[in-house]
Amino acid sequence: MPEIAKVVPRVLRRRLSRILQAIGYQVIPTSQMYRVDGLSTVHSARFRKDPRFQAAWQRALQASHGVDPHTEWRIHVGLWAASAASRIPGEFLECGVNAGFLSSAILRYLDWANLGKTFYLVDTFAGPVLEQFSAEEIARGNLQRAKRSLAVGAYVTDLERVRQNYAEWERVEIIQGAVPQVLPSVDAQALAFLHLDMNCAHPEIEALRFFWDRISVGGIVLLDDYTYYGYESEGDALDALAATLGCQILALPTGQGMIIK
């Protein structure tokens, strides 16, 4: 009986596969599926074949000293958003830089030297501000997750290393400090691209609220953790703020959220 139980499902799968192919469906082997970073799909990650994407991805890995977070599709979304925003009046801003994975990829991907924009990079460069986690986030384990990440060195705390990473580009301004207190230090009058990745609801909603009126029409806001499992408090807080701002957040299967103003 155990042998039959093993064989029958395989036979049924093959028979079903033949039936589906006969009526016009394409059957994709599981070995060809994209299953990375919480995303599982039978559709092609065709962007990985693009030499321009690969150059940006390798530059991102350089920023992280070779640590691969396996977030290719998220980076692809970020590069698309940045490329679209490059044609919109305004500067670029990232709150939550850490090693500079996405921002380094964007700078390599775009013709940054000729865009005439400034990229503002805001971070404590000391990890999350632990006092900012809400009671709900603490109950969900977000505070403990942040502490563990700090303990194992997941957050870059060497500001000189960060400065060296961006030394090859002009018009990159690094601003050290906690959000929202440090936000007045960003002197950009208009923004084309805003990326929020602080893993905590309070600084993210305060940053979006602070900069909303500066975001140009057509400008893009990218939210890294909007639908990410375990960060429901962030998503709820961002939804509530978006309702007051009169906009709607697009939920992406990569865990990100996007607003086009």
Tally of residues, the chain: 261
Give residue 196's domain range. Answer: 36-260
Domain count, the chain: 2
198 & 98 share domain: yes
193 & 124 share domain: yes
23 & 51 share domain: no
pTM exceeding the 0.85 threshold for the entire prediction: yes
81 & 190 share domain: yes
60 & 81 share domain: yes
53 & 156 share domain: yes
Would you state the torsion angle of the CA atoms of residues 230, 204, 257, 210, taken in this order, to the nearest 10 degrees?
A: 160
Please compute the mean of the pLDDT values over residues 58-84 and round it to a whole number: 96
Checking DSSP bridges between strand 257-260 and strand 250-251, what pairing results, if any? antiparallel
Q: What is the pLDDT of residue 3?
A: 41
Q: Which domain CATH number covers 149?
A: 3.40.50.150
Q: What is the pLDDT of residue 1?
A: 35
Q: Are 163 and 95 in contact (CB under 8 A)?
A: no
What is the pLDDT confidence band of residue 24, given thresholds at 50, 70 and 90? low
81 & 17 share domain: no
pLDDT at 116 over 70: yes
Q: Is 122 helix (H, G, I), strand (E, B) or coil?
A: strand
135 & 120 share domain: yes
87 & 59 share domain: yes
241 & 148 share domain: yes
227 & 194 share domain: yes
191 & 71 share domain: yes
